Amino acid sequence: MAGTVTGDKGTKTAAAGMTKGLRGAAQSVVYRLPVGLERRLLYVYYQRKFPRFGQPVTFSDKVNWRIINDRRPLLEWTCDKLAMKEYAAKAGLERLRVPRTIWSGSDIGDLQGVDLPEHWVLKPNHRSGLIHFGRGPADGTQLSAVTATWLDSFESSKLREWAYAKARPMLLVEELLGPPGAPPPDYKIFVFDGKPDLIEMVNRYDGNQQRLYRADWTPLEVLYGPQGIAPVAPPPPDLDRMLDIAHQLGKPFDFIRVDLYAFDGSIVFGELTPYPCGGFERFRPASFDVELGRKWQLPTLRSAA
């Protein structure tokens, strides 16, 4: 058996998922606008308030500022899954495990004949929120249908998230973490200038419920996303080591989200996220968006719209 998830895979793809509300003629018009105007209209639609991209204050404003303005080489590779994994592996961090890439390529037909484990996952290298859970040998006919549009662009061409345009349009197969249908908890660590500040814990086994915590694991009564706030959970066994890994991986960036898993006694690398939720997901209360925005000191660029 196998299954496919299309759409929102946690907060990383909330922006892509939310654009489902703009189908038809309105969506077609919005996606043809200049990037600054498009982002402003989408921001009003989803955040229900006017943006301040020229003088960004909130975290959400600053994510959008980055999307519109920031073209530094530092960010070029941060939406390329294979490049992220290479970066994490080369960091040589103690007790950090990087999931094994079993296969990668642009022709799904080449996957037939590859010696696959009993359970595996298939993803596009250059997109977010698309994942297929496979079992046993690859079925070329099935996978061709599943991945028919996966090599297209969306985040780069529609949402204008620049770093996705730099990612290689490929497919990859990875080992599956945990038993089928029961993925380990996902810890998304917001890192500002190398300092881990906020942790979003996502429990995919329990309906993608989320909860935000301070770095010292103080729980917050802040809603971030459409799911309800999850009950308070115990911290991961190796929280201090997890935070140190996030610090080491996040040091080069003014802001990056470092996603990690605690699995089978190891800390496992998930991905890096330069544009959480595309800057569209709301924090409630809204004051937390302002508070988090204060933590992010934007870089000085040669030119900014």
Do 93 and 269 meet the contact criterion of CB atoms below 8 Å apart? no
Does the residue 304 lie in any domain? no
Higher pLDDT, 210 or 305: 210
Does the residue 300 lie in any domain? no
- The separation between CA 19 and the C-alpha centre of its own chain, rounded to angstroms, equals 16
Does the residue 100 lie in any domain? yes
Do 267 and 260 meet the contact criterion of CB atoms below 8 Å apart? yes
**Calpha distance 135→126 (Å, rounded):** 23
> Tell me, what CATH number does 147's domain have?
3.30.470
The β-bridge partners of 174 are 101, 121
Is residue 24 over pLDDT 80? Answer: no
Residue 264 pLDDT = 87
Does the residue 299 lie in any domain? no
Percent of the chain with pLDDT over 70: 88
Q: What is the DSSP string of 35-98?
A: HHHHHHHHHHHHHSS---SSS--SHHHHHHHHHHH---GGGTTTT-HHHHHHHHHHTT-TTEE-
Place of tokens 């933590």: 295
153 C-beta neighbours (distance < 10 Å), count: 16
Residue 158 pLDDT = 86
Which conformational region is residue 168 in: left (phi greater than 0), alpha (psi within -120 to 50 degrees), or beta? beta
Is residue 127 over pLDDT 90? Answer: yes
Q: What is the pLDDT of residues 135-168, one digit of tens each?
A: 999 999 999 999 999 999 989 888 899 999 999 9
Does the residue 30 lie in any domain? yes
Q: Which helix (H) or strand (E) holds 25?
A: helix 25-30
Residue 299 pLDDT = 97
Does the residue 80 lie in any domain? yes
Percent of the chain with pLDDT over 90: 76
Looking at every residue in the chain, the average pLDDT score rounds to 89
Closest CA to 159 of 201, 123, 190, 129: 129
Q: What is the mean pLDDT of residues 98-124?
A: 96
HEC readout, 196-240 = EEEEEEEEHHHCCEEEEEECCCCECCCEECCCCECCCCCCCCCHH
Is residue 204 over pLDDT 80? Answer: no
Higher pLDDT, 242 or 180: 242
Residue 176 pLDDT = 94
Band of pLDDT at residue 22, cut at 50, 70 and 90: low
Structural domain for 262, as ranges: 3-294
Give how many domains the chain has, as a whole number: 1
Q: What is the pLDDT of residues 262-284, one digit of tens each?
A: 988 899 999 999 999 999 999 99
Does the residue 17 lie in any domain? yes
Band of pLDDT at residue 72, cut at 50, 70 and 90: very high
